[in-house]
């Protein structure tokens, strides 16, 4: 759950008579084909008219900001009705392990690595008994594999010895496990146990600051501020929608402002590419016609599954 990730590889195309027709043909050949559902999703995300900056007053009141923030959430819910955690998992243990592995890499790389990991160590008991060097070789593609192996061995042993081999469903228990902080705990609680939580990863923090919901940099403070803006029932899905938008449109270095469906609500409009055609070339994953990050995405995901490790 950044993702990106987690390379959460989870992060463009060019087109133009004799010499130019060749370029156009080449560009057309290189452009990824969208599935009908992905094309529909991208069309739905496209701004209804020319994108313009949000006309927020210089000193927006707190109430006005809350109303604007909630409208952004409603708009994102229409653009990404299929938003979901971008880590493949079948149970709480797999989600916990995948989230720990996602640090400093992409969700895609984690998803390409975990099939072999869980085939070798399907339970906390199996993983706690793993030979460190053998686990390191399996998770090497995710980076920082020695530190991550140490964390996985420690948390698996703790689950075996202190929780009967089960992942606990309380934040206060989860954060005591090796390698598990509030972000990881909220990912697990929200997506494996249905307990509302706000996941403040790099994408989430960047976007809420661009939207002027807060200027806090500390993830715990960001979480507290955003929790005060939205009802608890929205926390988990809000996190998915914001992260989806950050990975697909509102990029860190060059946001696709001209292709952003919430541009009229964004006080930072203009930080990125505002030309609609150029902006559309910056779209990623299903919005740009590319595969997603999950090898086994939910049934309602309109894009294409990610390739297995070493494929394509």
Which residues are catalytic, by number?
Answer: 183, 201
- Kind plus residue range of the DSSP H or E element containing 148: helix 145-162
Greatest CA span in the chain, whole angstroms? 71
Report d(CA 306, CA 294) in Å as an integer: 5
Contact 273, 255 (CB under 8 A): yes
Report d(CA 312, CA 309) in Å as an integer: 9
Report d(CA 296, CA 41) in Å as an integer: 19
277's tokens: 């055609």
Could you give the C-alpha distances from 81 to 75, 95, 127, 192, in angstroms and in order? 10, 22, 36, 19
Contact 309, 300 (CB under 8 A): no
Across 64-93, b (16+ Cβ under 10 Å) vs e yields ebeebbeebbebbeebbebbbbbbbbeebb
């Amino acid at each position: 759950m950044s993702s990106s990730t987690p390379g959460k590889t989870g992060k463009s195309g060019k087109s133009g008579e004799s010499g130019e027709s060749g370029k156009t043909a080449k560009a057309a050949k290189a452009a990824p084909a969208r599935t009908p559902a992905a094309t529909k999703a991208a069309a739905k995300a496209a701004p209804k008219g020319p994108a313009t900056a949000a006309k927020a007053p210089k000193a927006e009141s707190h109430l006005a900001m809350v109303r604007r923030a909630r409208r952004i959430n409603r708009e994102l819910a229409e653009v990404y009705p299929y938003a979901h955690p971008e880590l493949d998992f079948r149970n709480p243990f797999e989600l916990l392990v995948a989230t720990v592995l996602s640090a400093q890499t992409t969700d895609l790389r984690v998803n390409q690595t975990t099939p072999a990991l869980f085939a070798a160590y399907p339970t906390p008991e199996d993983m706690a008994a793993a030979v460190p060097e053998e686990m390191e070789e399996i998770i090497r593609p995710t980076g920082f594999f020695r530190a991550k192996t140490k964390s996985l061995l420690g948390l698996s042993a703790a689950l075996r010895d202190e929780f009967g081999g089960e992942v606990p469903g309380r934040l206060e228990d989860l954060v005591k496990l090796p390698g598990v902080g509030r972000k990881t705990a909220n990912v697990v609680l929200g997506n494996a146990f249905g307990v509302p939580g706000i996941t403040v990863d790099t994408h989430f923090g960047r976007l809420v600051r661009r939207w002027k919901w807060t200027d806090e940099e500390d993830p715990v403070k960001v979480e507290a501020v955003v929790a005060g803006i939205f009802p608890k029932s929205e926390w988990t899905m809000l996190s998915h929608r914001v992260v989806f938008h950050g990975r697909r449109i509102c990029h860190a270095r060059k946001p696709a402002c001209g292709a952003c469906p919430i541009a009229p609500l964004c006080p930072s409009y203009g930080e990125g590419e505002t030309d609609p055609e150029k902006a559309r070339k910056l779209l990623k994953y299903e919005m740009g016609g590319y595969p997603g990050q999950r090898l086994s995405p939910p049934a309602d995901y309109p894009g294409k599954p990610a390739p297995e490790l070493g494929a394509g």
